[in-house]
Amino acid sequence: MKTFCGRANPTSGALDWVEESEEYDYHQEIARSCYADMLHDHDRNVKYYQGIRAAVARVKARGEKVIVLDIGTGTGLLSMMAVTAGADFCYAVEVFKPMAEAAQCIVEKNGFSEKIKIINRHSTDVTVGPDGDMQMKANVLITELFDTELIGEGALPSYEHAHQNLVQEGCEAVPHRATVYAQLVESELLWSWAQLQPVEVEGARLAPLPDVSRCAGAHSVCDIQLSQVSPLSFTPLSPLCTMFSVDFSKPVSSAFRSHSSQFVAQSGGRAQVVLSWWDLDMDPSGSIVCTMAPSWTYPQPKMAPWRDHWMQSVYFLSVERQVTEGEELSLTVCHDDYSLWYSLRSHSQQDPQTDALPSRPCCTCQAHLVWTRPRFGELNDRRRTENYVSALRSVLREDSVCLGVSDGSLLPVFAHMLGAKKVYSLESSRMSKQVIEQMLEANSMKGGVELLEIRPEQLTTNDLGAEQISVLMGEPYFSTSLLPWHSLFFWYCRTALAGLLRPDATILPCSASLHMMAVEFQDLWRIRAPCGTCEGFDVTPMDEMVQRSLDFHESREAEPHPLWEYPCRALTQSAEVMTFDFTQCLPQRPISCQGSLPFIRMGRCHGVALWMEYHLTDDITVSAGLIGPISEQGECEWSRHRKQGVYFLRSPWESSGDGRAAVSYSFTFEPTSGDIKMDFSIESQ
């Protein structure tokens, strides 16, 4: 039986009906997950195996049979470690059915099926007894239920239920404990992701919404590769604080908790951001430690293990405050069963009887619901704003009638400030419209921009006061975009609005171009590397069926990644491979191009990086990819505001850098679907 699901096409804006059959390959969902990254995490695997062997040995030393409960078994790796270490039996719980089926195949292939039972349930539904899923309670509890925020995957409720129902009192736990650390910092870079800064346009100041500066912001954690945030971009105001620990060998509570750490400010500045990460002690003595600390905390940063399934967290204080060196302060972390949040107080002003703990952050200004954190950073990028203002200044006239097509954009506001006769803006959502309305009102510009919550194809001359558009502008930015070329939705809008444009209308940007280059990734390649074996433990974790699906390249698709977080080296020159002329309507026929780029640097080519550049005018270009020249060694600097596209090659290619080999490419843009089909191959001379 086949069913169809309606999905909005991010490029064309159309509603596509996608066929979904009962035979849908969920292994592709596994392929897109972090399983490959975890299996390649040598540090994690070694530390887990060491902790498991030690726990099994402690139980055996007491003369007991070792019965293991592995919650969230995934591929079954930790269960196989336990049996290899001498466990008598292991109950491996996995709620995701396709993954449980894969784990069953993997366990059987490695000869562990007699000692490992895969249970396809949520752990809170598992029963113990003669007719239950488990014959007896376990005396060793093994879990990998953690995310970047430690508890975001429901670790606390799962542990709470396990201790009440599934494990013996005084059980061994691997990991034994987790400890959360935090550091208070001032950082213009990080703070730009949370609050809108004032903007200068032609000597006038566009002030941010007062409600935004008082808002606690988005409730979701900001998880990033903090190793890629240079210590030069922030000033530590506190030492590294130990906030709290959780002992997993004892009953765990998922109830609300708060923990405070008192410290003396080590420097003065604006308290804005809290950096946070955690450690896992795999044994009670704390001699086997798996840490999430960023690389710049290591004496030798290059020795830090890389992982993408666990990163570091950035938390934003609801309001920045000035602190002075030597001031006594208290940093408080609160958590419910799934989230953490932080607050700062002066130690001298605290009164336990009257000071209420802050509730979980929740956006009250709507701006944090309209703009993502990278989008805040983009809006706060002064150089980028100057480019757009310069481009607008060069095309606007006193009689200009402007129409903006982007989501939650400030371009229409800039056009009004630059003296356009009339400015309209199409907004994709009511919430976005309300945020821009509030900004206009806060800056006494109400009525300066007319906001229209309407689709481009529905717009008529009546909506424009019977006038025609002389300047159609966009950044372009759309909240539905995932891949770089999804912003070509602007072209579809421009085509739908063709009948409302003056014959001499200016389109800004006038064109866009797709760029590419072959790259060697420092670490990102691990997330798509084959998983025939597991680093740090001698088993074959993937059967052939699962391995084929984990070889994500079978789909032949690019995927979005913020490359500023994932360093890479350019092995070829960068090249403009396709151009999209916005001054013309969308073509009826596909656009195709082919070519090749010779390898000019030695290295291992893992794939191709792809990005868009927007040509606002003939001489002003804004890049959503590379933002500086490539160094002699091939190092690249990437925009932090947008994700770039990455196309992983089926197998890495060793480049000698002598130009005798090249990456050949073929691109086809399909106007009817909005897709860009691409193919790459390596050719040697």
| Domains in the chain, CATH or no CATH each | 29-142 (3.40.50.150), 178-365 (2.70.160.11), 381-508 (3.40.50.150), 511-522+567-684 (2.70.160.11)
List Cα–Cα distances, 205 to 61, 199, 352, 443, 546, in angstroms. 72, 6, 42, 9, 57
Does 150 score more than 70 pLDDT?
Answer: yes
List Cα–Cα distances, 672 to 15, 253, 514, 589, in angstroms. 12, 54, 19, 9
Question: Coil, helix or strand for 156?
Answer: helix
List Cα–Cα distances, 661 to 127, 508, 600, 605, 683, in angstroms. 60, 39, 9, 11, 6
- Tokens of residue 409, six digits: 């954009």
- State the pLDDT confidence band at 551, using cuts at 50, 70 and 90: very low
- Measured on CA atoms in the order 221, 223, 226, 228, is the torsion positive or negative? negative
pLDDT tens for 260-315 read 999 999 999 999 999 999 999 999 999 999 999 999 999 999 999 999 999 999 99
pLDDT tens for 194-248 read 999 999 998 899 998 888 888 888 888 899 999 999 999 999 999 999 999 999 9
Note the pLDDT of residue 2: 54
Peptide bond into 175 cis (omega under 30): yes
Mark 364-384 as b/e (b = at least 16 C-beta within 10 Å). ebbbbebbbbbbbbbbbbeeb
Q: Which amino acid, one-letter code, is at 265? A: A
Closest CA to 201 of 396, 369, 355: 396
Question: Residue holding tokens 């391995």?
Answer: 547
Question: Coil, helix or strand for 482?
Answer: coil
Note the pLDDT of residue 545: 38
Does 131 score more than 60 pLDDT?
Answer: yes
Note the pLDDT of residue 7: 63
Residue 42 falls in which region: left (phi positive, over 0), alpha (psi -120 to 50) or beta: alpha
Task: Give the Cα separation of 160 and 167 in Å (integer).
Answer: 11
- Tokens of residue 90, six digits: 């292991």
Note the pLDDT of residue 258: 95
Q: Tell me phi and psi for residue 653, to 5 degrees.
A: -120, 130
Note the pLDDT of residue 478: 95
Note the pLDDT of residue 198: 93
- State the pLDDT confidence band at 358, using cuts at 50, 70 and 90: confident
Q: Do 564 and 533 form a contact (C-beta atoms < 8 A)?
A: no
What is the rounded average pLDDT of the residues 515-520?
Answer: 98
- Tokens of residue 595, six digits: 């070519």
Q: Do 10 and 480 form a contact (C-beta atoms < 8 A)?
A: yes
Q: Tell me phi and psi for residue 574, to 5 degrees.
A: -80, 150
pLDDT tens for 584-625 read 999 999 999 999 999 999 999 999 999 999 999 999 999 999
Q: At what angle do helices 77-84 and 42-61 cross, to 10 degrees?
A: 40
* Strand partners for 404: 425, 473
Lowest mean pLDDT among 78-82, 317-321, 553-557: 553-557
Per DSSP, which regions of 510-562 are E strands?
A: 511-521, 559-561
What is the rounded average pLDDT of the residues 166-192?
Answer: 97
- State the pLDDT confidence band at 138, using cuts at 50, 70 and 90: very high
Task: Give the Cα separation of 235 and 187 in Å (integer).
Answer: 6
Does 3 score more than 90 pLDDT?
Answer: no
Note the pLDDT of residue 312: 98
Note the pLDDT of residue 528: 85
Task: Give the Cα separation of 347 and 351 in Å (integer).
Answer: 9
Does 387 score more than 70 pLDDT?
Answer: yes
Task: Give the Cα separation of 267 and 185 in Å (integer).
Answer: 10
Does 109 score more than 70 pLDDT?
Answer: yes
**Among all residues, which ones are annotated catalytic?**
144, 153
Long-range contacts of 391-400 (CB under 8 A, 24+ apart): 391/508, 391/616, 391/617, 391/620, 392/418, 392/471, 392/473, 392/508, 393/202, 393/418, 394/617, 394/620, 395/471, 395/506, 395/508, 395/617, 396/420, 396/471, 397/470, 399/470, 400/470, 400/471
What distance separates the 2 farthest-apart alpha carbons in the chain? 90
